[in-house]
A = this chain, B = another copy of it.
Amino acid sequence: MIRIIAPRSGVAFELKRGECLRVIDPQGEQVADLVAFNRRDTSEAISSGRSIDYASKIYLTTGDPIYSNRSSVLLRIVEDTVGRHDFLVSPCSAEMFRIIYGDAVPHQGCFGNLAAALAPYGIAPDAIPTAFNVFMNVPVDAATGAIRVEPPLSRAGDYIVFEAQIDLLIGLTACSAGQSNNFTYKPIHYEVNGHD
């Protein structure tokens, strides 16, 4: 069953070991921030630093594992029709909208949406790690290290599938940042399936 995350909102749910999470961009050019925690001990969470280190690359795609802060594999990417996602930058937040966009009355962003969705599971905002930013397109200038946030390469119907390696708690959003989504706010679809 396909579930819908409304524009600029987020959800949390359990994903059991062996289950697959398909994150779909229904209209194209929309980002979904994903975080994952060990369901049985939520002090263990995805780690961009370890995942990038062990993969020796910043752009993860089919076949690549997403490691935790304890160097265990929490998720594995098993399908990916886009091939460009970001694991460098934090979820957008009220502070980010103030600092980067100069918004006087900022939206709570993916960070606020994740915090609200994860609170019932006992996750404190401080414990939300750098997200795996599905479909987010962040090129790096190799010489200067400058990054840019460009429109996603995803087109309507594109998707990525993650397989849970242990029982997980997932946080997932339809991203709230204009720059990340080519300045339109769209929904994200997702689906949980048994091991296939």
> Are B53 and A89 touching (Cβ within 8 A)?
yes
A142 within 8 A of B: yes
Across the two chains, which residue of chain B brings its CB closest to A50?
B90
> Are A144 and B59 touching (Cβ within 8 A)?
yes
> Are B48 and A130 touching (Cβ within 8 A)?
yes
Bin the interface of chain A by size: 35 or more
Cα A70 to Cα B92 in complex, Å, equals 12
A 75-103 binary contact with B (CB < 8 Å = 1; else 0): 00000000000001110010110011000
8 Å CB contact of A57 from B43, B58, B144: B144
Does more than half of chain A's interface fall in helix, strand or loop, or is it mixed? loop
A69 within 8 A of B: yes
Which residues, 126 to 174 on A, are CB-close (under 8 Å) to B? 126-131, 139-142, 144-148
Chain B min CB distance to A39 (Å): 15
Across the two chains, which residue of chain B brings its CB closest to A53?
B89
